[in-house]
Amino acid sequence: MLQAINLHKRYKTKEVVRQVNMQLEAGESIGLLGPNGAGKSTTISMLSSLVMPTSGEVIWNSESINKNPESLRKTLGVVPQEIALYPELSAKENLAFFGRIYGLKGSLLSERVEETLQKIGLSDRKNDIVKTFSGGMKRRLNIGAALLHRPSILIMDEPTVGIDPQSRAYILDTVKQLVEEGMTLLYTSHYMEEVELLCDKIYIMDQGEIIAFGTKEQLKSLVSNNQTIELKGHLLTEEFGEVLKKQFPTASVRYEEDIFLVSMPKKEEPLATIFALAAENDVTITSAIIKIPSLEDVFLHLTGKALRD
Amino acid sequence: MLLTLIGKQIKMLLRNKQPLIILLIMPLVLITILSTALASVMNSGGEPAIQARLALIDESSWENEEESIKNFLEEQGLSGPSLDAVLTQLKSSDPIYILEDSILSADGVEEYISVEKKQSTGLDSIRKDKNTDGILTIPSSFRLDYIKTAYFNETQTPEIDLFLSQENEIRASIIQSVITEWQNGYTKSLALTKAGITLDQSLQNNSSVEKVEQVLEERERKIPASVYYTAGMLVMFALYIPSFLAGFALQEVQWKVYDRMILAGVSATWYAISIFITGSLVAFVQQLLLLLYGKFVLGIDWIGLDAMAVIVLTYSLFIGGLSALLTTLQFRTKSDGVANLFNGLVITIFSFLGGSFFNIGDVSTILAKIGNLTPNGATMTAILSIQKGRELEIIWPLMSVLFVAFSLCVLLSIVLFPKRGVTS
């Protein structure tokens, strides 16, 4: 069991992580959800022994890793947010290098490299230099490099940032398969749908603190009394948002590209009023959907802002 | 583990164009251009500063021979004051005395030959001593034989035994030239004496110094532009290796590859050692390639290969140590500022002082002395000294500069290298 107790990290005067408590049991898949800058990466760096906490402890198998990190390190597979690969080396050379530093050699190393290349779908590009790869291929290889030594815990920090939907789907499928095979997973992301898909339990983090924890259902129950209305149409401007807020003081309004999302308590029955206000303000609404609460709504409910703000 | 890290670092160097251009192509181009452009200016002149060591084993002292000489003269019918007068004259024209006290002690000759008197009992050990360039053995009956030949028409010519070491051809030649000149002098004196002319001064001429200088003129290698600039570029461009390696290391931190290594159990110590070995290895190969280019393309005949090997290996180790130190400093500061400063300023100043661009000694002897305190300057001076034909011993003070710099780099790397890990 991997446990974080009152983790605290300060860089000069800036407090990046405050009083974080987490627990990761064998076989569990835990999500760490939060916007950029919430302190997720620092938290997982402390959990993986790469950064010393200012205070607090990380416990692995009942022992603090602050003084003896080696006991934990070899059981971890860490996929950093950065592409932690050598761009001048081929996919195969990269994997072979990381395998060797984990002590793999000879036929075992070759087998593991081939097996990993197959798992991440890069067997046909194994001899190509990494700098010629697409963003998605690099991300897949980044994951592969963390799997070679067959870790028991996989820690992934935003592994799908900046890639095309196809590669993202491939990566999510790969990770889901690993979870199904029994891998313990700690997955950080600001994409709530990824965390929702992969994780049994979720920690929600904001401004360096854990603000909520539970299963998806437990978290969503926090907003079970709420409803979210998704509006599409013409001239859905911020001014119209202000009009809605004035009409429904308990509502929160956010914009996602051309979609307007209005969250408010379930007791309200707003559609007729919204359409009337739209007509008064020369706004055309082409569709209005009342959505089932999501983790996005949970985050909005807890912080008053969207995950991707 | 170590081989894996070194192999990866070498692959990174080889697969990047910039290091290949700066570490190999640029020095080759500059050596070729400078050697050609400055050939006419530099391929004249040269400074002699060679001192040969001569061991003198004189088994023929006056004290030992005086009695037998007296007896011989008495046998020839001399006695009383006339015997004493002849003995006095013989003493004053004694060729051994002239060799020791006039020729070898003359200011000009002393500069080129140092004489040490030895006993014949230790001849074997003297011959084995690599510091001895020549052994002159004068047999116990030399003076008597000389007198017999010079004054009494006996045919037995006085013999000497001159052994010359093969260790250093130039120094051996210096000794040979002086001894030959001395032999010519007393042979001439014998001839003149037989002809009834006393001309003791014929032995005491000043031509020995001229002969030595003539030998040096003929035998000491001048440093042509090709040798000068091969050495200059070799020491200068090796200094770029540490900043490349430190730059790659910082990239590893920024890319989080270093984190992966730390998680895999690669200790900070092993990592620093791998940088040190890679730096040394790359510096050695780079220097070797430049020297081979000099030999096969520019036609340089590198001499003193044992000394050259010592110099190249020592400088390579220093470059390895410097690579580890620059990596350490970049890890500490988490920026490439240290390597940029080193590349942009330190290498330029060191190369200027070290004489890579031109002989700084022509401008200022103080700057030249300071230059010899820089690792590259010391290395360059050592290479040029050996190429002039000087002995291996001359490089040790220069190599000590490298040893000090190397030790300092290693020590600072050990103390300052972040042990737990580095996060970008």
Average pLDDT over residues B23-41: 86
The reply to whether B239 and B132 lie within a common domain is no
Residue ending a domain, choose from B177, B196, B219: B219
Chain A interface residues (partner B, CB cutoff 8 A): 45, 48-52, 70, 73-74, 76, 78, 80, 82-86, 88-89, 93, 97-98, 100-103, 129, 145-146, 149
Per-residue pLDDT tens over the stretch A188-211: 988 888 888 899 999 999 999 999
The reply to whether B298 and B368 lie within a common domain is yes
The reply to whether B258 and B403 lie within a common domain is yes
Rounded Cα gap, residues B318 and B313, in angstroms: 9
Q: Residue B341 — φ and ψ, nearest 5°?
A: -65, -45
B274 is written with which tokens? 């791998």
Q: At residue B354, what is the residue type?
A: G
Q: Distance (Å) from the C-alpha of residue B362 to the closest C-alpha of chain A?
A: 46
- Asked if the model's pLDDT at residue A298 lies above 90, the reply is no
Instruction: Provide the pLDDT for residue B48.
Output: 42
More confident call, B118 vs A188: A188
Domain membership flag for residue B277:
yes
Taking contacts as CB-CB distances below 8 angstroms, the residues of chain A near B256 are 80, 82, 84
The reply to whether B364 and B231 lie within a common domain is yes
The reply to whether B70 and B158 lie within a common domain is yes
- Asked if the model's pLDDT at residue A275 lies above 80, the reply is yes
The reply to whether B378 and B237 lie within a common domain is yes
Q: What is the CA radius of gyration of chain B?
A: 30
Share of chain B above pLDDT 70, in %: 87
More confident call, B179 vs B308: B308
Instruction: Provide the pLDDT for residue A290.
Output: 86
Rounded Cα gap, residues A133 and A163, in angstroms: 12
B257, A70: Cβ pair inside 8 Å? no
Domain membership flag for residue B330:
yes
SS3 string of chain A? CEEEEEEEEEECCEEEEEEEEEEECCCCEEEEECCCCCCHHHHHHHHCCCCCCCEEEEEECCEECCCCCHHHHCCEEEECCCCCCCCCCEHHHHHHHHHHHCCCCHHHHHHHHHHHHHHCCCHHHCCCEHHHCCHHHHHHHHHHHHHCCCCCEEEEECCCCCCCHHHHHHHHHHHHHHHHCCCEEEEEECCHHHHHHHCCEEEEEECCEEEEEEEHHHHHHCCCCEEEEEEEEECCCHHHHHHHHHHCCCCEEEEECCEEEEEEECCCCCHHHHHHHHHHCCCEEEEEEEECCCHHHHHHHHHCCCCCC
More confident call, B341 vs B218: B341
Q: Residue B113 — φ and ψ, nearest 5°?
A: -130, 125
Domain membership flag for residue B168:
yes
B423, A50: Cβ pair inside 8 Å? yes
Report the number of distinct structural domains present in chain B: 2
> What residues make up the domain containing B10?
2-45+222-416
The reply to whether B380 and B240 lie within a common domain is yes
Mean pLDDT over each residue of chain A, to the nearest integer = 89
Domain membership flag for residue B320:
yes
> For B151-293, where are the E strands, in sequence order?
161-164
- Asked if the model's pLDDT at residue A228 lies above 50, the reply is yes
- Asked if the model's pLDDT at residue B232 lies above 60, the reply is yes
pLDDT grade for B204, boundaries at 50, 70 and 90: very low
- Asked if the model's pLDDT at residue B208 lies above 70, the reply is no
- Asked if the model's pLDDT at residue B290 lies above 50, the reply is yes
Per-residue pLDDT tens over the stretch B244-285: 999 999 999 999 999 999 999 898 889 999 999 999 999 999
Instruction: Provide the pLDDT for residue B215.
Output: 59
- Asked if the model's pLDDT at residue A307 lies above 70, the reply is no
- Asked if the model's pLDDT at residue A6 lies above 60, the reply is yes
B16, A88: Cβ pair inside 8 Å? yes
- Asked if the model's pLDDT at residue A301 lies above 80, the reply is no
Average pLDDT over residues A165-178: 91
- Asked if the model's pLDDT at residue A292 lies above 90, the reply is no
Residue ending a domain, choose from B219, B243, B278: B219
Q: Which residue's entry shows tokens 């036929």?
A: A107
The reply to whether B253 and B308 lie within a common domain is yes
The reply to whether B178 and B226 lie within a common domain is no
Average pLDDT over residues B74-91: 80
Residue among A202, A221, A199, A213 at smallest CA distance from A292 = A221
- Asked if the model's pLDDT at residue B156 lies above 70, the reply is no
Instruction: Provide the pLDDT for residue B284.
Output: 97
Ranked by mean pLDDT, which of A11-25, A225-239, B92-106 comes out on top? A11-25
- Asked if the model's pLDDT at residue B46 lies above 70, the reply is no
Instruction: Provide the pLDDT for residue A296.
Output: 78
Taking contacts as CB-CB distances below 8 angstroms, the residues of chain A near B255 are 82-85
Domain membership flag for residue B356:
yes
Domain membership flag for residue B421:
no
Bridge partners, residue A155, by sequence: A78, A186
pLDDT grade for B220, boundaries at 50, 70 and 90: low
A101, B257: Cβ pair inside 8 Å? no
Residue ending a domain, choose from B194, B219, B244: B219
Instruction: Provide the pLDDT for residue B27.
Output: 94
Domains, chain A = 2-220 (3.40.50.300), 225-292 (3.30.70.930)
Per-residue pLDDT tens over the stretch A58-108: 999 888 888 788 889 989 999 999 999 999 999 999 999 999 999 999 999
DSSP SS3 for B11 = helix
- Asked if the model's pLDDT at residue A185 lies above 80, the reply is yes
The reply to whether B180 and B315 lie within a common domain is no
Taking contacts as CB-CB distances below 8 angstroms, the residues of chain A near B263 are 48-50, 73-74, 76, 78
Average pLDDT over residues A126-153: 94
Q: Which of B5, B11, B259 sits opposite A50 (nearest CB)?
A: B259
DSSP letter string over B81-148?
HHHHHHHHHHHHT-HHHIIIIIITTSHHHHTTEEEEE--GGGHHHHHH-TT--EEEEE-TTHHHHHHH
- Asked if the model's pLDDT at residue B202 lies above 60, the reply is no
Domain membership flag for residue B423:
no
Rounded Cα gap, residues B270 and B402, in angstroms: 24
Whether the pTM exceeds 0.90: the reply is no
Residue among A9, A1, A12, A17 at smallest CA distance from A211 = A17
Q: Which residues are within 8 A (CB) of B315 and not within 5 positions of it... i.e. 6 or more apart? A: B235, B238, B283, B287, B375, B376, B379, B402
The reply to whether B231 and B285 lie within a common domain is yes
The reply to whether B175 and B320 lie within a common domain is no
pLDDT grade for B47, boundaries at 50, 70 and 90: very low
Task: Please check whether residue A194 is in contact with residue A172, taking contact to mean a CB–CB distance below 8 angstroms.
Answer: yes
Mean pLDDT over each residue of chain B, to the nearest integer = 84
